[in-house]
Every structure is written in structure tokens, then in C-alpha cells.
Structure 1
Amino acid sequence: MPLQLVTPPSEEPVSLWEAKLHLRVDFDEDDMLIASLITAARQAAETLTGRQFTTARWKQVLDCFPGPSQMGVPAGQAFSLPGHAILLFKTPVQSVVSINYLDMGSALQVMPGATYTVDNACEPARITPVYGQIWPVCLPQIGAVSVTFDAGYGSAAQVPEGIKSWIKLRVGSLYAHREEIAVLSRGRVEALPFIDGLLDPYKVAFV
């Protein structure tokens, strides 16, 4: 599912000060390097988990509205992924900014917010028309529909500590080993198996 970053996050989950404290670095000469490693580690963690950590704005592009356009919730099911729901592939979703589509005259239209509902309590978040409404007819053309939304936990202070710990550990590894390979002279060195497990509770299973 094509995702476009519209507005990048204004801060990293781990500050430069926090990273330097973890690295036990008390000089400023490597600040630019460490800052770039924080960004690289954060992007890697977001890719592995399917999450956005600090608030950013995304656009998800679709070729058409999903179908079938059956309304309602299946009887006896407390939760469902209805066939007409749009699933947003970045979490956690804070809000949907707009749903845009090309009508049959190739004019860009904005779907009124009152005609659809967003469930951002589940992951991935779901969007469907409200009861009694259906998705509008769009131009049968690739990229005819787009959903713009804000995602993220909020500020850096709201990002879970497990994620922050993984980022700091990855920054430490990147800072210590700055090339593609490491030549070791003191016996065998193995990765600590619990490191990547820090991200396991935050991985989203997209269907």
C-alpha cells in the first residue's frame, strides 16, 4: 500500500542528550553523527513495527474505494474487518485529516467528514462510511483515492520505553561499528537475543 510522508516528525523519540548519556560520550565533536544515527535507528524501528513514533502526517494512496459496499456489522461478531473498510498502514492513528478522490469528471473531491467513521482504537485503524452511506463513485484510474492522516504516539515523552531502549541500543551498535563489517580479535562475539525482542510487543500485523 503506497504511503507518502507529508510532514515528518518534529522531534526524535530519543534526544541527543539521552543518546550521549547511553553512549557515555561527554564531548560535542560527534553530535552530528550521533543525531544521524538516532534518525537511522528510529526509521529502522518504525519499519520493523509498522508504527509512527512521534507525530507525523501521512498520505495513503489507493486506486479505488474498497468493496463490497455492504453496510453493518456481521451478527454475533464483536469485531470484524469488513470488506468495505479502508485499513491505514501506519499506527497509532491520531486522526484522519481528509479523504480525497477523483470523481468521474476527473475533479478532485473531498469526502465530508460526517459521511465516514474512523476506528483508531484497533491496529490497523479502520475507516468505513457511516451507517446508511456508501463510498462515492470514483474515477477508475490508479491513485484515484487518498487518505491523509496524522499518526504517532505524540511527543517523545509519550513513546514507550521499550522502543526508546531499542533505539539507544541500536545507536550504540552503529556508533561502535561504523563500517559494514567488524574485525574482532578477542574471540567470538554473539548478538544478545533479547534486543530485537524489545520491539515485539509493538509490531503490528497488517492483513
Structure 2
Amino acid sequence: MAAEVIRRSPATVLTLEEVRQQCRIDADLTDDDSLLQMIERAAVASAEARAGGPLLMADCRETLDTWPGLPWLYLEIAGGREVVAIEAMQQGQRQPLPLNAFHIEQDGRRLCLKPLRSWPEVDPVPGAISIAYRAGFAEDGQDVPEDMRQWLRFRVATLYAYREEISAGSVVALPDGLVDSLIAHYCPAGGWI
């Protein structure tokens, strides 16, 4: 089974002004703007890795060789909102499957698919099943939950404070603990990825 984000939102979660304010940089000092934008993207990528899915709505795809042996399937990427399409290889042709043949529900932070009758037949070939879906916390950065946005603010400030060590290629272990407790409840199965 392979799950991937196939199209991400180009929007930022934190605005450049928010990043400047968090890093205590005056609004008229713009020399580090490109660095601040890279730091914001790095902090978002770190949050997404911990949460198991994108912060802003994204198009995702999950590919399976066969249906699971259980009467349900949890999609891998957390934050699933809606299944857009399900296709399967049947008799050598990729066929769309009707979404109304499945019960689709959010179960915690992941989407769960259950066939209303039984799993449809598929050809025994790699990647026989393709499920397209949308996942994310919000369409816009301002609508991302405040605890996640606060975690990002702390991470941005820490990355900026250690920017020289990071740019020199030294790996700096960022402190965990209190700050990470802000988003621990978003992590799948209660643990970090």
C-alpha cells in the first residue's frame, strides 16, 4: 500500500508578518525574508510529519494491490476529509467504482472505507486499486487549529535562533517536551511518526 500527497496548497500557514513577529524582526527589515519563508515551510513539513498528514487541504492518492482481508480500510494519510474517486483494475481495464457502494466515514483523524456488500473484485496486479481523496486541517492557514499554529510559531522561532548551525550543515536537535505537547493529540495512535 502506498499513500502520497499528489498536490499541495502553495499557501503558507503562517504569514511572513507572523513569522517576523515571532522571531522579533522589525517589519522594515526584509533581508531575511526568503530565509523566513524557508523556515516556515520547514516547520510546516515537520508538523505534517508528526500529524501524519497535510495541514492545508491537499489531494492525496492511496494505491493498493488488493483489498484488505478485513471489512474496512483506513486510509493512511491523516486528516482525510472526503473520498473523491475509487478506481480498480477489472478485466484488464481501469474502472471507476461508485462511491455509493461504500460507507465512508471519518474515524478519528483518518477516513475509513467499508463496502456496503463486499469488496469489489479486482485483477491480481500491482496497484490494482486507486483511491483519490482530500485531506488537511483547513483550506486557509488562518483556519488551521490554533494549537497547531502556536506549535509552528515556536518551531519557527527555534529554527531562526539556530539558523547559523542549520545553514552550516550541523544537525541541531531541537528541544521537545512542552511545545510538542501542544500537538501530541494530532499524532496518529498517540505516538510520533
Q: Do they fold alike, i.e. is TM over 0.5? A: yes
Are 2:50 and 1:63 equivalent residues in the alignment? no
Query: How is 1:17-96 mapped onto 2 (pairs within 5 angstroms)?
Result: 17-26=17-26, 27-67=29-69, 83-96=70-83
CA distance in 2, matches of 1:182, 1:140: 45
How many residues align structurally? 182
Structure 1 stretch displaced more, 17-26 or 118-127: 118-127
- Cα distance per residue 1:4-60 (max 9 Å; x no partner): 222112322212111111111121121111111111111111111213211111101
Distance of 1:30 and 1:50 partners within structure 2: 30
- In structure 2, the residue matched to 1:77 is none
Distance 2:130 2:14 in 1: 31
> Equivalents in 2 of 1:144, 1:192: separation in Å?
41
Q: Which structure has the greater CA radius of gyration?
A: 1
Give the distance between the partners of 1:125 and 1:44, measured in 2 at CA. 22
Q: Which residue identity lines up with residue 94 of structure 1 in the other structure?
A: R
Shift of 1:84: 2.0
SS of the residue aligned with 1:89? coil
TM-score (norm 2): 0.86
Counterpart CA distance in 2 for 1:29 and 1:145 is 49
Output the TM-score relative to the length of structure 1. Answer: 0.80
Q: Which runs of 4+ in 1 moved over 3 A?
A: 180-183
In the aligned structure 2, how far is the partner of 1:136 from the partner of 1:176? 54
Instruction: Judging by fraction of residues, say which structure has more helix.
Output: 2
Q: Could you say what the CA RMSD is over the residues aligned between the two structures, in angstroms? A: 2.1
SS in 2 for 1:170: helix
Query: For the Cα contact (< 8 Å) 2:64–2:128, is it kept in 1?
Result: yes
* 1:169 paired residue number: 154
2:151 equivalent to 1:149? no
Residues in 2 aligned to 1:123 and 1:151: alpha-carbon distance in whole angstroms: 10
- 1:98: which partner in 2? 85
Change (3 A) 1:8 1:192: closer
In the alignment, structure 1 segments of 5+ residues that lack a partner are 68-82, 184-189
